[in-house]
Amino acid sequence: MNRIRPLPPEIVAQIAAGEVVGRPASVVKELVENSIDAGAREIRIEVVGGGRGMIRVADDGCGIPAAEVELAFQRHTTSKLTSADDLLHIRTLGFRGEALASIAAVSRVTCATRAVDEEVGTLVRLEGGEMVSRRAIGRPPGTTVTVEDIFYNVPARRKFLRSEATERRHIDAWVTRYAIAYPALRFILVHDGREVFRSPGSGRVRDVLVAVYGPEVGAALLEVVPETGSDVRVEGFVGPPELHRADRGEITLFVNGRWVQDARLAYAVVQAYHTLLPTGRYPLAVVQVTVPPEEVDVNVHPAKAEVRFRDGEAVFRAVQRAVRQAVVEGARVPTMGTVSAGAFPVRPAERTPERAPFFPRAPEGMGPVQMPLVPPTAHPGGMPPLRVIGQVGATYIVAEGPDGLYLIDQHAAHERVLYEQMMARRPEGVPAQPLLEPVAVDLSPEWAGLVGAHRETLCRLGLEVEPFGGTTFLVRSLPAVGTMASAHPREVLLEVAQGLAEGRAGTEEEVEQAIVRRVCKGAAIKAGQVLSREEMEELLRSLEQCASPRTCPHGRPTMIHISISQLAREFNR
């Protein structure tokens, strides 16, 4: 057996450093945070070799007084906290006094700094945490920290460094986040001598987003306007529903100016797009939450990417409500070219972005964005008044609107109408419309079991079913909402049974929502059904009354718009 001995101090320092400095990007993050805390207006980040070669962060902030430079590099020394009580009202990004010490412990660091109210600057050099030189220098106020040979003394960590491209991506992500969170500061990012990103420092978040995502996406983003008089302030920019991504990676969240990774808040954003996005797709969003400092605990993790709220539920609801409002108000009818409609190849609007988007990732799920598309109207969902022209393929309604042609998917549109009508009645229970003759429906044993188990819920939603021996059920009523009358009870029940079979694991609320969607799907007018002019007109009038008329409850578009100018272009006028 080995005897228990204290660890040598340099090993202790390296272990502690590991929590703060996981990779080159964490060095960038910590140094940038220090520059922001120092009141910098411009922060320049230079990186060589994805951070393995060198990382340099230069700012024009308050600088470090000559007498305090050594202290700054010691562990648990900070100018940002003086008492435990301060921990409850943190307004700076740093407060643990660990970053500079940790970075210095695992690399070679040079720091040149001059405090604003001092005449002379200081240059220090540290290797593995030890100060190896110090002298006075002349320089303008501010601080430049240069980090070289990261992990030179921690072979285990060095081995785990990922490819240069991966490290660059992580660095880019951090710089972008801070540029968005601090639009009044100018951030300049240089990789291997080439400037790849610059935020204008104008104070406007949208300007930063244009620099990050390119002019088209930047222009399409919808503004989240904060509610007044609430303790939880939610603001930011979110994508219109047609701008969707394959994962949650582009939901960027900040709490009190600090970037956070919070699955629940991200979920609140996704929830706000409920029924507006195709299944399995995620929105692009930048959401900033501001709460009184004492309402949130940021001291959960050394990297500080997690936070805890005193009232997480209230924050969740505020985020969901604010984002939903922005999306519903801002949603526009998708224009040809924003949906991939193969039959109508539409040339993308010719545009040369002054600057390529910083994110090389193509904005999938979105073509050229043209705004504004729809003149303001009195309808709740902002749908323009449409005049029916006819029907194509017994599937699409052709209509004319104030700016051109509209094609409406009759099934998707009717699903939306039924869905909103049922959801509106759901709180008090959807009334039942008894059938003149009950309809017997045979189900598989599995489906029969599920329908039997959910009979009460179905009844509350206006769909009365009754066991009829074996695996057969009698449908006695359909939900009594405006335009359900022509539905086939059999199809409705089969659709519901299938939905129950697919979504068994959900909460009661989720099950009920799924049932409503299935009822609507089963009851909606089908593709291939010839409609009279009156039926088409009635459908459009009902659609106009919807809060979200532009997508079906599954997130597919209900209509496509071809503007007069697009028609002109297609005809080479």
- Written as one letter, the residue type at 477 is S
Q: Which does 98 bind (CB under 5 to 8 A by kind): Mg ion, ligand ADP, none?
A: ligand ADP
Q: Does 36 bind ligand ADP (CB under 6 A)?
A: no
| Binding test (CB under 6 A) with ligand ADP, winner from 16, 80, 312, 483 | 80
- As beta bridge partners, residue 253 has 260, 287
Rounded-to-integer distance, Cα 22 and Cα 162, Å = 11
Site for Mg ion in 32-51 (CB under 5 A): 34
Q: Work out whether 107 is an interface residue with ligand ADP (CB under 6 A).
A: no
Residue count, binding to Mg ion (CB under 5 A): 3
Applying the rule CB under 6 A, the residues between 15 and 34 that interact with ligand ADP are: 30, 34
Interaction of residue 418 with ligand ADP, rule CB under 6 A: no
Distances from the Cα of 10 to the Cαs of 3, 13, 104, in angstroms? 20, 5, 11
**Cα–Cα distance, 212 to 176 (Å, whole number):** 7
Does a cis peptide bond (omega within 30 degrees of 0) precede residue 240? no
24 binds Mg ion (CB under 5 A): no
* Spatial separation of the C-alpha atoms in residues 519 and 512, rounded to whole Å: 10
129 belongs to the binding site for ligand ADP (CB under 6 A):
no
Q: Which residue has the tokens 């539905």?
A: 487
> Considering the complex, what minimum distance in angstroms separates the CB of residue 182 from ligand ADP?
14
Q: Are 432 and 455 in contact (CB under 8 A)?
A: no
Which 3 state secondary structure label does DSSP give 14? helix
97, 368, 438, 449: residue in contact with ligand ADP (rule CB under 6 A): 97
Could you tell me the sign of the dihedral formed by the alpha carbons of 528, 529, 534, 537, in that order? negative
Sheet containing strand 233-238, strands side by side = 222-224, 233-238, 285-290, 251-255, 258-260
Task: Tell me: does residue 176 bind Mg ion (CB under 5 A).
Answer: no
**What does the alpha-carbon distance between residue 279 and residue 298 come to, in Å, rounded to a whole number?**
33
Task: Please select the residue that binds ligand ADP; options are 55, 99, 277, 463, rule is CB under 6 A.
Answer: 99
Choosing from 50, 94, 384, 401, the residue that interacts with Mg ion (CB under 5 A) is 94
Min. distance of Cβ 181 from ligand ADP in angstroms? 16
99 is a site residue for Mg ion (CB under 5 A): yes
Task: Give the x/- contact pattern for ligand ADP in 52-71, rule: CB under 6 A.
Answer: -------x-xxxx-------
Spatial separation of the C-alpha atoms in residues 214 and 208, rounded to whole Å: 10
Instruction: Closer to Mg ion by CB, 72 or 408: give it.
Output: 72
- At its nearest, how many Å lie between ligand ADP and the CB of residue 205? 24
How many residues bind ligand ADP, per CB under 6 A? 23
Q: Which of 35, 122, 275, 477 binds ligand ADP (CB under 6 A)?
A: 35
Under the criterion CB under 5 A, does residue 26 sit at the interface with Mg ion? no
Stretch that binds Mg ion, among 3-11, 87-95, 162-170, 423-431 (CB under 5 A): 87-95
Residue 122 touching ligand ADP (CB under 6 A): no
Nearer to ligand ADP, 100 or 211 (CB): 100
**Binds ligand ADP by CB under 6 A, chosen from 79, 261, 325, 433:** 79
Q: State the Cα–Cα distance between residues 72 and 78, nearest whole angstrom.
A: 7
Q: H-helix or E-strand containing 156?
A: helix 155-159
DSSP state of 343: T
Phi, psi of 45 (to 5 degrees): -115, 120
Choose among Mg ion, ligand ADP, none what residue 97 binds, the Cβ cut-off being 5 to 8 Å by kind.
ligand ADP
Q: What is the pairing mode between strands 285-290 and 233-238?
A: antiparallel
79 contact, one of ligand ADP, Mg ion, none, CB 5-8 Å limit per kind: ligand ADP
Q: Under the criterion CB under 6 A, does residue 566 sit at the interface with ligand ADP? A: no
Contact segment (CB under 5 A) with Mg ion among 27-35, 49-57, 155-163, 318-326 equals 27-35
One of 72, 104, 208, 546 touching ligand ADP (CB under 6 A): 72
Q: Is 190 helix (H, G, I), strand (E, B) or coil?
A: strand
112 binds ligand ADP (CB under 6 A): no
Nearer to Mg ion, 99 or 221 (CB): 99
Cβ nearer to Mg ion, comparing 27 with 492: 27
Per-residue contact flags (x/-) with ligand ADP for residues 270 to 289, judged by CB under 6 A: --------------------
Sequence-distant (6+) residues with CB within 8 A of 404 are 561, 562, 563, 564, 565, 566, 567
- Report how far residue 324's alpha carbon sits from residue 152's, in angstroms, rounded to the nearest whole number: 49
Give the phi and the psi of residue 525 in degrees, each rounded to 5: -50, 135
The Cα–Cα gap between 350 and 368 comes to 9
Is the CB of 62 or the CB of 539 nearer to ligand ADP?
Answer: 62
Q: How far apart are CA 537 and CA 531, in angstroms?
A: 10
Among residues 402, 407, 396, 339, the alpha carbon closest in space to that of 369 is found at 339
Cβ contact 231:291 at 8 Å: yes
Which is nearer to ligand ADP, 80 or 490 (by Cβ)?
Answer: 80
As measured in angstroms, the least distance from the Cβ of 145 to Mg ion is: 11
Count other Cβ atoms within 10 Å, centred on residue 246: 11
CB of 151 to ligand ADP, least distance (A): 18
Q: Which is nearer to ligand ADP, 99 or 408 (CB)?
A: 99
- Cis (ω within 30 of 0) for the bond into 372? yes
CB of 226 to ligand ADP, least distance (A): 29
Which residue in 2, 115, 124 sits closest to 59, CA to CA? 115
Q: Which residues contact 127 (CB under 8 A, 6 or more apart)?
A: 108, 109
The single-letter DSSP state of residue 385 is P
Smaller CB separation from Mg ion, 99 or 493: 99
- By CB under 5 A, tell whether 61 contacts Mg ion: no
Phi, psi dihedrals of residue 189, rounded to the nearest 5°: -120, 125
State the minimum distance, in angstroms, from the CB of residue 377 to ligand ADP: 53
Q: Which of residues 131-170 bind ligand ADP (CB under 6 A)?
A: 143
Q: What's the closest the beta carbon of residue 40 comes to ligand ADP, in angstroms?
A: 7
* 14, 60, 95, 421: residue in contact with ligand ADP (rule CB under 6 A): 95
In the complex, the residues that contact ligand ADP under the rule CB under 6 A are 30, 34-35, 37-38, 59, 61-64, 72, 78-80, 94-101, 143
The footprint of Mg ion (CB under 5 A) covers 34, 94, 99
